[in-house]
Amino acid sequence: MFKTALLGAATAAIAATGALAADYPQRPIQVVVPYSAGGSTDLSMRVVADAFERIFDDSTMVVRNQPGGGGAIGSSAAVNARPDGYTLGAGAQGPLVIKPLIGGTDYQLDDVEFIGLYARSLQVMVACADAPFADYDAFIEYAKSDAPQVGNSGAGGANQISAEAFADAAGISIESVPFNGSSEARTACIGGHIDAMVASPAEAKAASEAGQMTPLFVMEDERIDLFPDTPTAVEKGVDFTWSSWKGLIGPKGMDEATVAWLRDAVEKVATDEEFVKTLTDMGEFVTYENGEEFEARARKDMETTKSVLEKLDMLGMNN
């Protein structure tokens, strides 16, 4: 009788869990964006929310901005939320991969449930006005004897990490010049005050067409449509790729069935034709990766970042 009672209780518990998962979501899902409204992470997540509500017409997704700490405050709110599937986060590279290594966060990568990646922001190394090089080969040759000044959007940010990591992979030296945001770096580049900078394809395209910058290489495996004549580092023999990314994350401890439902939802959104067109028109590179692939990408980026921060003596500097 005792065994029968235990079996009955276990069966009831499993049935209840399945029923709960089958009913999910029963109320609006809130997604915390760790940046202010109007930025690329915010705008792309709002497109995700619109597509989610269109595809799942009985469901609601609400975007809430919680900026501060370079994205760490909002990311903390998502990672430390109650694991019921109703508070998620916009997962961005800076606060998830870079900030925990610099220090000062109350979370680590192991605390994150990776649901799915839906977009990446590509990076292009460009030569600035009056730079002593105008193509990849000349840039490498110059950097073997002199350290070109390479601008970035902020110390310890993704652009500095990518430039330093490339320099290590290529066996060259650079002098990183941090600015307070990409617009300041772009102004310095156009003015000829630095030799090169890491830019987004949209920034590089507009400036190159105006004769203000010259694209040197793209940090991808293959050439991109926006710059068909610009090589990748990979094709030049340097095994290096890098991009910033955007995905959906949540706290650890969510019900497995809920995580599975959310992962399926991200796949449906990221492969939706209308969503892809909207995000592509915004300048994003739509890329779908499931939870495991997304996590693997984040962990690979963390290893690259750790090596760079150690070299710069920035590892754990805020602890």
Residue-range domains of the chain with CATH: 13-121+243-311 (3.40.190.150), 124-218 (3.40.190.10)
User: pLDDT exceeding 90 applies to what percent of the chain?
Assistant: 82
How big is the CA angle at 159 (ends 31 and 291), to the nearest 5 degrees?
Answer: 40
Q: What was the pLDDT predicted at 299?
A: 98
187 vs 181 pLDDT, higher one: 187
Give the strands of the sheet with 87-92, arranged side by side: 61-65, 29-33, 87-92, 243-251, 112-122, 285-290
With bands split at pLDDT 50, 70 and 90, how would you rate the model's confidence at 21? low
CA 252/CA 168 separation, integer angstroms: 34
Residue 11 has pLDDT above 80, yes or no: no
- Calculate mean pLDDT across residues 140-158: 93
Residue 4 has pLDDT above 70, yes or no: no
Taking the whole predicted model, whether its pTM rises above 0.75 is answered as yes
State the number of CA atoms in the 13 A half-sphere of 7 facing the CB: 4
With bands split at pLDDT 50, 70 and 90, how would you rate the model's confidence at 2? very low
Residue 249 has pLDDT above 90, yes or no: yes
3-state helix, strand, coil in the chain (%, to 5): 45, 20, 35
What are 278-308's pLDDT values in tens digits? Answer: 999 888 999 999 999 999 999 999 999 999 9
What are 253-264's pLDDT values in tens digits? Answer: 999 999 999 999
Q: What was the pLDDT predicted at 16?
A: 42
Q: What was the pLDDT predicted at 1?
A: 44
CA 127/CA 147 separation, integer angstroms: 14
With bands split at pLDDT 50, 70 and 90, how would you rate the model's confidence at 245? very high
CA 151/CA 153 separation, integer angstroms: 7
226 vs 233 pLDDT, higher one: 233
